Structures are given as structure tokens and as C-alpha cells.
């Protein structure tokens, strides 16, 4: 066929064969540089009639032009050569602009080709186009739109989160991509009964946490078929990506039996990792109650004893799931006891916390096996065993363990800080060490509550706050709060604050007599060399947190300061001792 514009053979004009193609080449050059939209329309009309050889040349002409020309190419995306497709990919911004134009074409074939281009590239910034195409008159286009939306959702979930060292702009861009895509899902979900694309529902289940009540409002509506469709496809869609949906479903009436049957069978490393990533759902009383209905789950049956197949940051949560799920007592003790001896300190810590909160003889027996050593976990274990044997503070131990376990995976609620703080307040000074370790370990999570304790009207809170932050890592974070206590109305609190500030102001603090003297070396405020030599290691112990229960070390520091400063300090010692005993 002759296009009338682009000859594909020599013409015969008046018996003279025309073989010179120079005018044709000039014509193509003009089409590349010529005005829009005229040249775009000429190329589009020619492309619709041209044979393959000339079609490829017209496509290359269009590839060198702007958005309108590229819209012509997108409209016939399925017929494009691979070279032209690669050329389109080289300019993502113009490609996406052309797709956005082609999706709105009056031709259902061109809209379908635009969806093919969208499916091949999956630019998240164009996801907003899909809800409208889901309602396209063409069934084939509706299918493509649903399939593309699901692929975009999958690509977004597969995309790694920014590195923790990434800048705020990169992190915010990642968050915005997710937020905007969730809005697209919301619109596609609300219009489900107009397009009935099941791919949309599956993608929405993957983002159940972000959609929240918007998802459950549709699934629970009697006017929508969405809930029925989900129940029909539920087992076919079973995958680790459903973890958030399954746990949120435990809060919804009528879903628990079905969800429990699915969760009970999860046992692969990918499924368990997905479950542990959703540990924050355990804050829900409905979820915790429903987990008891998951009898004898298979969760850790295919994993090694120390859970090496799971990411290290997730292992710490495993004991809490075992404690709350419907395991038999023997199964629960067997798993937790093994983890309490694990090489991973975080997993070991989580297992000890879970055992401490069980408060049954078998759990205490397991704890006795983990009391050796001088780590924070070992000291906490000894404290729990002692509390059980003495019958004192048993509930405080369990509350502290639960609070610490919660703080390990999320911003712990204020009530958890209160549980640990009050347990520490009630504990005898000699047995307070493990609870101090818990408060220090999660000090950054509870930072605002610790800062408020420095301003508490109760001097026992203020004194305890100083003791909690008395480490090299924490003292700089709370230095202003400690400095404010130098003017505290209670002398004992002022003295504790001054000891901490002195101990952390310099690692060579006793080499600088000004640190302990008002007028430098010599004079009435100078510290004798013999006292200096004994005082320096004690203050270093307070500074690096290796002082154990701390109070004995503080008492020794006080006695040395009495010797250094004489009767002036002795007059204040009685009040210091009384406040420390109360605290």
C-alpha cells in the first residue's frame, strides 16, 4: 500500500524512474523539527497507513519530538519495536507525561496500549490514573488496570525503605509515595462495586494497616460484595503480605475463626518474619485475646532452635508471641527455655521477660537455669527468681517484663513506663539494679517521661531520675535536666546531681582540681591526693554504669567527700541518706 507521503518504491513519473531519495530525507528532517501539532498529526496519519519499513522510520521521527508525538507512540505501544521502547524509557518524565495523555484517549485500543506501557514501567506517580480506568467501558482495559494496580502495590512493598542514614528528604519521599498510593487504593476500593476487579481487593489487603477503618467499612458493608469476594479468595491469596490484614481481622467480628485457621498453619521463615514485623498489633486487647484461640500454632516448627533464619531485629519479638498464643504450657516452656539459653542476647532477653511474666512454677524453674553471669538479663533473672522465692514484687516483675518487651518493638505507651518506674520505686535498693537496667535500656523511648521525672514534686522521683541517667550514654542526653537539680530544694537531690555532673564532665575529672574545688588547686576546697586516688575509680564506675546497684558506690563517694570537705558535708549527710532510703 502506498501511504501517499512516504514512497516505499521508485516512482515512475512520465516514464522517468525517480530514484533520488534526498527530498524524502529532507521531508523527514522537517517532520522532526517542524511545528506541533501539525507534524504530529501528519506522522500519526502516516503511521496508521504505513508499511512496516516506513512505520519504523516514522516512529523514530516521533521519538525525537515532544509529548504529543510520544502520545502517538504510546497509543500503539504493543506494536512498537524494542528499540523504540528502549528509547522511550530513556526519558522517564516525557514517557510518563505521554502515558497520562494516552490514557485519556477516546480510543479504547489506545487506552489499552497506554495501560501496557504503564504496566511495563510502573511509575507510582501515575497510579492516580488507574481508578478511573478501572471503570473503562472495555472489559479488557478494566482487567489491565486491575492487574497494573496490583503490580504497583507489589513493587512498592518490594522496594526497600531508605537506609537509616538517609537524609530526611529521602525518607519523606518514601513516606509520601506510600501515602499517595494508599489514597489511590482507597478510591479503587470505594468503587469496587462498579468495576469488580478482585486484584484491587488483594492489593488493599496488603495495605490493611494503612487503610484501617476505610477497608473494614467496605468489607463490612451489606451494600457491597467486597467482603464476600474476599472470603471466596481468602485462601488463594494466603501469603506473608497478608500478615497485617490477618491480625487486624482479629479485631473484627466474625473474622476470627477463619483467620485463626490460616495463621495456625504459618511456619515458613518468610511467614514468621512477616508476623513478627506486625508485633505492634499485640497492643490490641482484642488481638491478644484472639491469639489464645490459635491452638498449637506451627509457627516455629520449621526454624532452627535459635531462629537464625529470621532477621536479627525480629527475633526478640518471638517470645512474646509464644507467651500470648494458644500453645500448651509444655510447648510454651520448651520454646522459651531454649531461647533463654540462645546466643543472641536480644532473643535471650525476650525469652527471660516472657518467662518472668508467666509466673508459673515451670517458668521459675527455667529462669533458675539462666541466672549465671553478670549481664543485665542475668541480673534481671536473679531478681525475678528472688522475687518469686520471697513472694514480693511478683506482679511488679511481670509488669516490668511486659513493659520492656513492648518497648523493644515500638514506642512504649506511658503506662508501661509507669509500671517499671513504680516497680523500681517499690524495690529495695539492693534489688533495684535489674529494673534500672530496663529503664536505661529504653530511656530513649521513654525520654519525655524521664525528663518529667526530674520535675516531679516528689524528691524520690527526682533522685531516682538522676540514678537512672547516671551512665556515659545517657547523662549527656539529660544534662540540662540534671543541671536544673543543682538548685533543688532538697540537699540530697542537689548532692546526687552534683556527683553525676562532676563524674560526667570529664573522664579526667580528678586531674582537674577545679572540678571539685571552688578555687582551683590548693586552698580550702582542694581534694587531698590520697582521697583523690580512691575517689576517681568510684566516680568512673558511676559514669560508665558499672556500679551495679549504685547506692553502695554513692555511699562510699559520700564518705570520701565528707573526709575531703569536713564537717560542712557531714551536716548534710543525714538528709542525703534519708532521701536515698525513701527513693
Residue-wise pLDDT tens for the chain (583 aa)?
344 444 444 443 333 344 444 555 554 555 555 656 656 676 666 666 656 666 676 677 777 777 887 888 888 898 888 888 998 888 999 899 999 999 998 889 989 999 999 999 889 999 999 999 999 999 999 999 999 999 999 999 998 777 767 778 888 888 899 999 999 999 999 999 999 999 999 999 999 999 999 999 999 999 999 999 999 998 999 999 999 999 999 998 788 888 999 999 999 999 999 999 999 999 888 898 889 888 899 999 989 888 999 999 999 999 999 999 989 888 999 999 999 888 888 898 888 888 887 767 888 888 887 777 777 777 777 777 776 676 544 444 444 444 444 444 433 345 457 767 877 887 777 667 777 877 887 787 788 889 999 999 998 999 999 989 988 778 888 999 999 999 999 888 898 888 888 876 644 333 333 333 323 333 333 445 566 556 555 555 554 444 444 455 566 666 666 565 443 334 344 444 444 444 4
Evaluate whether residue 83 is within a structural domain. no
Q: What is the domain range of residue 514?
A: 443-583
Find the distance separating the first CA and the last CA of the chain, reported in whole Å. 98
Cα dihedral angle (390, 395, 396, 401), rounded to 10 degrees?
Answer: 110
Alpha carbon distance 486, 559 (integer Å): 20
User: Cα 316 to the chain's mean position, in Å?
Assistant: 15
Grid cell for residue 582 = 525513701
Evaluate whether residue 504 is within a structural domain. yes
Alpha carbon distance 177, 182 (integer Å): 9
Evaluate whether residue 130 is within a structural domain. no
Q: Which residues lie below 8 Å from residue 70, measured CB to CB, with a gap of 6+?
A: 62, 63, 88, 94, 95, 97, 98
Grid cell for residue 396 = 511488679
- Cross-strand bridge partners of residue 16: 13
Beta strand 16-18 with 11-13: parallel, antiparallel or unpaired? antiparallel
**356, 314 contact by CB (below 8 A):** no
Evaluate whether residue 454 is within a structural domain. yes
Q: What share of the chain is helix, strand, coil (3-state, %, to 5)?
A: 70, 0, 30
Alpha carbon distance 250, 455 (integer Å): 41
**405, 322 contact by CB (below 8 A):** no
Which of 468, 432, 438 is closest to 453 using CA atoms? 468
Alpha carbon distance 103, 123 (integer Å): 14
Cα dihedral angle (46, 52, 57, 58), rounded to 10 degrees?
Answer: 20
Evaluate whether residue 460 is within a structural domain. yes
Report CA-CA distances (Å) from 133 to 103, 253, 532.
Answer: 8, 34, 80
Handedness of CA 470, 473, 476, 481 (dihedral sign): negative
Residue 348 main-chain phi, psi, to 5 deg = -60, -45
DSSP 263-281: HHT--SHHHHHHHHHTGGG
Give the total number of structural domains in the chain.
1
Compute the chain's Rg from CA coordinates: 35
Evaluate whether residue 507 is within a structural domain. yes
Handedness of CA 546, 552, 553, 554 (dihedral sign): positive
Evaluate whether residue 544 is within a structural domain. yes
Alpha carbon distance 49, 3 (integer Å): 6
Give the length of the chain.
583
Alpha carbon distance 342, 305 (integer Å): 8
Angle at 54 between CA 52 and CA 60, to 5 degrees: 105
Alpha carbon distance 198, 147 (integer Å): 9
**309, 344 contact by CB (below 8 A):** no
Evaluate whether residue 331 is within a structural domain. no
Amino acid at each position: 500500500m502506498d501511504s501517499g507521503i512516504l514512497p516505499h518504491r521508485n516512482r515512475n513519473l512520465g516514464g522517468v524512474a525517480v530514484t533520488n531519495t534526498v527530498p524524502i530525507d529532507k521531508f523527514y528532517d522537517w517532520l522532526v523539527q517542524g511545528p506541533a501539532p501539525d507534524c504530529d498529526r501528519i506522522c500519526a496519519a502516516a503511521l496508521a497507513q504505513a508499511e512496516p519499513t516506513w512505520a519504523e522510520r516514522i516512529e523514530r521521527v516521533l521519538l525525537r519530538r515532544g509529548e504529543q508525538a510520544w502520545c502517538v507512540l504510546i497509543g500503539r505501544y504493543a506494536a512498537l519495536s524494542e528499540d523504540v521502547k528502549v528509547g522511550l524509557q530513556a526519558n522517564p518524565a516525557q514517557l510518563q507525561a505521554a502515558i497520562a495523555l494516552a490514557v485519556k484517549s477516546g480510543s479504547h485500543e489506545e487506552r489499552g496500549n497506554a495501560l501496557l506501557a504503564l504496566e511495563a514501567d510502573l511509575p507510582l506517580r501515575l497510579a492516580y490514573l488507574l481508578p478511573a480506568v478501572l471503570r473503562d467501558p472495555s472489559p479488557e482495559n478494566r482487567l489491565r488496570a486491575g492487574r497494573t494496580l496490583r503490580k504497583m502495590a507489589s513493587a512498592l512493598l518490594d522496594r526497600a525503605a531508605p537506609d537509616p542514614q538517609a537524609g530526611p528528604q529521602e525518607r519523606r519521599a518514601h513516606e509520601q509515595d506510600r501515602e499517595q498510593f494508599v489514597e489511590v487504593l482507597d478510591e479503587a476500593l470505594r468503587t469496587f462495586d462498579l468495576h469488580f476487579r478482585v486484584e484491587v481487593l488483594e492489593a488493599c489487603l496488603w495495605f490493611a494497616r494503612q487503610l484501617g477503618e476505610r477497608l473494614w467499612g467496605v468489607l463490612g458493608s451489606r451494600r457491597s460484595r467486597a467482603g464476600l469476594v474476599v472470603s471466596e479468595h481468602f485462601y488463594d491469596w494466603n501469603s506473608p503480605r497478608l500478615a497485617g490484614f490477618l491480625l487486624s481481622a482479629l479485631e473484627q467480628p466474625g473474622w476470627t475463626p477463619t483467620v485463626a485457621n490460616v495463621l495456625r498453619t504459618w511456619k515458613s521463615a518468610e511467614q514468621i518474619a512477616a508476623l513478627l514485623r506486625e508485633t505492634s498489633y499485640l497492643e490490641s486487647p482484642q488481638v491478644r485475646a484472639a491469639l489464645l484461640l490459635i491452638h498449637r500454632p506451627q509457627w516455629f516448627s520449621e526454624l532452627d532452635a535459635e531462629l537464625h533464619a529470621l532477621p536479627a531485629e525480629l527475633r526478640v519479638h518471638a517470645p512474646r508471641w509464644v507467651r500470648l498464643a494458644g500453645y500448651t504450657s509444655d510447648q510454651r516452656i520448651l520454646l522459651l527455655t531454649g531461647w533463654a539459653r540462645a546466643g543472641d542476647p536480644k532473643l535471650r532477653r525476650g525469652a527471660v521477660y516472657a518467662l518472668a511474666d508467666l509466673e508459673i512454677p515451670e517458668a521459675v524453674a527455667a529462669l533458675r537455669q539462666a541466672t549465671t553471669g553478670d549481664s543485665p538479663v542475668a541480673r534481671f533473672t536473679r531478681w525475678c527468681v528472688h522475687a518469686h522465692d520471697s513472694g514480693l514484687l511478683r506482679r511488679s516483675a511481670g509488669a516490668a517484663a511486659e513493659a520492656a518487651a513492648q518497648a523493644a518493638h515500638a514506642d512504649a505507651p506511658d503506662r508501661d513506663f509507669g509500671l517499671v518506674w513504680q516497680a523500681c520505686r517499690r524495690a529495695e535498693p539492693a534489688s533495684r539494679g535489674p529494673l534500672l537496667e530496663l529503664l536505661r535500656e529504653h530511656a530513649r523511648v521513654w525520654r519525655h517521661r524521664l525528663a518529667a521525672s526530674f520535675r516531679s514534686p516528689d524528691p524520690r522521683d527526682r533522685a531516682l531520675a538522676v540514678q537512672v541517667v547516671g551512665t556515659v550514654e545517657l547523662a549527656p542526653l539529660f544534662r540540662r535536666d540534671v543541671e536544673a537539680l543543682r538548685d533543688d530544694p532538697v540537699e540530697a537531690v542537689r548532692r546526687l546531681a552534683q556527683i553525676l555532673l562532676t563524674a560526667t564532665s570529664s573522664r579526667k575529672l580528678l586531674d582537674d582540681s577545679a572540678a571539685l574545688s571552688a578555687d582551683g588547686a590548693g586552698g580550702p576546697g582542694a581534694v587531698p591526693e590520697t582521697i583523690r586516688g580512691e575517689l576517681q575509680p568510684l566516680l568512673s564506675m558511676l559514669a560508665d554504669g558499672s556500679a551495679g546497684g549504685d547506692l553502695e558506690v554513692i555511699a562510699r563517694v559520700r564518705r570520701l567527700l565528707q573526709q575531703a570537705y569536713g564537717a560542712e558535708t557531714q551536716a548534710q549527710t543525714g538528709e542525703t541518706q534519708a532521701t536515698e532510703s525513701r527513693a
